[in-house]
Amino acid sequence: MLASVFVTGGLRTLRDPRGVAPVAEPVAAPVASRIPWLTEDPERLVRINGAVQLGAGLMLATGRVPRVAALALAGTLVPTTLAGHAWWKEKDPERRAAQRTQFTKNLSLFGGLLIAAADTHGKPSVAYRARRGATRAWKDTGVNALRS
């Protein structure tokens, strides 16, 4: 369910990036200036963002590397939210409230994606397994006996 908003939004953006590019322009230039290999063309950046959302959304929905997919989606959500829902710039109270609602919705999605990225489905994390393996190897080699 979490992936559905990204699959549909990514597909919509891929089909019509021109509709979103003007909104993304204020965020596109600063992001592109910090990442040298990234294009500064807002329409192209919007298309890349849409492709990542579609691909990672499908991966999350089908359970293919869900943790990586969730992190990728969280990464796309930051510029999307800053560009599309800058409620603090709105003067009209109704538009301000609507943008704040969308901003908060995206913030909630971001939190859900972080939970999905950290979820190990009941299995120990890679870090835990590495520490445990190192401890076992340490004990198996008898190095502790030499320290006494």
Asked if residues 78 and 27 have their Cβ atoms less than 8 Å apart, the reply is no
pLDDT of residue 14 exceeding 60, the answer is yes
Instruction: Specify whether the backbone of 64 is left (phi greater than 0), alpha (psi in -120 to 50) or beta.
Output: beta
**pLDDT number for residue 144:** 56
Q: Which two tokens stand for residue 19?
A: 């509709």
pLDDT of residue 147 exceeding 70, the answer is no
Q: How far apart are CA 106 and CA 28, in angstroms?
A: 18
Asked if residues 23 and 84 have their Cβ atoms less than 8 Å apart, the reply is yes
- Give the model confidence (pLDDT) of 62-105 as tens digits: 999 999 999 999 999 988 898 888 899 899 999 999 999 999 99
Return the residue matching tokens 């445990």.
132
Residue of 27 and 16 predicted with greater confidence: 16
- Give the model confidence (pLDDT) of 42-69 as tens digits: 888 889 999 999 999 999 999 999 999 9
Q: Which two tokens stand for residue 91?
A: 């003067």
Mean pLDDT taken over the chain: 87
User: pLDDT band at 136, cuts 50/70/90?
Assistant: confident
Helix (H, G, I), strand (E, B) or coil at 144: helix
